[in-house]
A = this chain, B = another copy of it.
């Protein structure tokens, strides 16, 4: 059986940077606090937790004076200010592409635009971006949601960095029916665009696609959708142990893609396991 791996499978620049920052901070043996998941990959997180990373769900759980690592998805600047006010030391692992989206949201809000974020309202990155617009943005996950909106003037549109471009395109098309003044900043990150293009092409070439990444990972979920859109059998797994021998019956060529928060060791494990199944 032939195995084809997407060229840009695995860690993106922002995740690589966040994990490097965490590992460096943990080297000295100090505890490092993080609010929410540093990256959306359970296996990588478990490894970092063993080295001293403490993940909390609520900012009140961060002891005064701690080292506080801002997750790659970014967070509300008011939370950061609160940690600083309590003597905390900030290490900011916000992905630079997410930072750009935050600054776009802030600028749109300051210009008094109606702010639209194309994205998942429950996703940490989107909640963080909206915080930079003082939570004034309307978050759109389906272009049909635009139909009921009313606008006071210029509409500013941006996107969660890991969204599919199709969502931005369809939201813009709907907005053009509703407003005469539209400013668009396409804040989808280069890594997401590249991975999305690769997975669509790869799914066409193979009989079976394995997409590796956190079940809670937005960008991995988009890769799964795009692979399925090619009508190729697709399985979304986090670790090699989830692979089932029957998936590979009569399969001559399998494709592998992996989300931006999937470490190389997880991809290697999957490749080894598939080889052992043949």
Contact = CB atoms under 8 A, between A and B. Distances in A.
A9 interface: no
B180 A169 contact: no
A159 to B, nearest CB: 10
A168 interface: yes
B184 A182 contact: yes
A181 B185 contact: yes
Contacts of A187: 180
A78 interface: no
Interface in A65-122: none
B186 A176 contact: yes
A186 B173 CA distance: 13
B184 A181 contact: yes
Most chain B beta-carbon contacts within 10 A, residue among A176, A182, A183, A184: A184
Interface of A is mostly: mixed
Nearest to A182: B184
Contact of A172 (B165, B176, B179): B176
Interface in A153-188: 165, 168-169, 172-173, 176, 179-187
Contacts of A180: 185-187
Interface in A173-210: 173, 176, 179-187
B169 A173 contact: yes
Give the size range of A's interface with the partner: 10 to 19
Contact of A168 (B168, B176, B181, B184): B176
A165 B165 CA distance: 22
Contacts of A173: 169, 172-173
B181 A176 contact: no
Nearest to A190: B180
Contacts of A176: 165, 168-169, 172, 184, 186
A179 B187 CA distance: 11
A173 B173 CA distance: 8
A183 B156 CA distance: 9
Contact of A183 (B172, B179, B182, B186): B182
23 contacts: A165-B176, A168-B176, A169-B173, A169-B176, A172-B172, A172-B173, A172-B176, A173-B173, A176-B186, A179-B186, A180-B185, A180-B186, A180-B187, A181-B184, A181-B185, A181-B186, A182-B182, A182-B184, A182-B185, A182-B186, A183-B183, A183-B184, A184-B184
Interface of A: 165, 168-169, 172-173, 176, 179-187
Closest 10 CB pairs of A and B: A180-B186, A182-B184, A183-B183, A169-B176, A181-B185, A172-B172, A169-B173, A172-B176, A180-B185, A176-B186
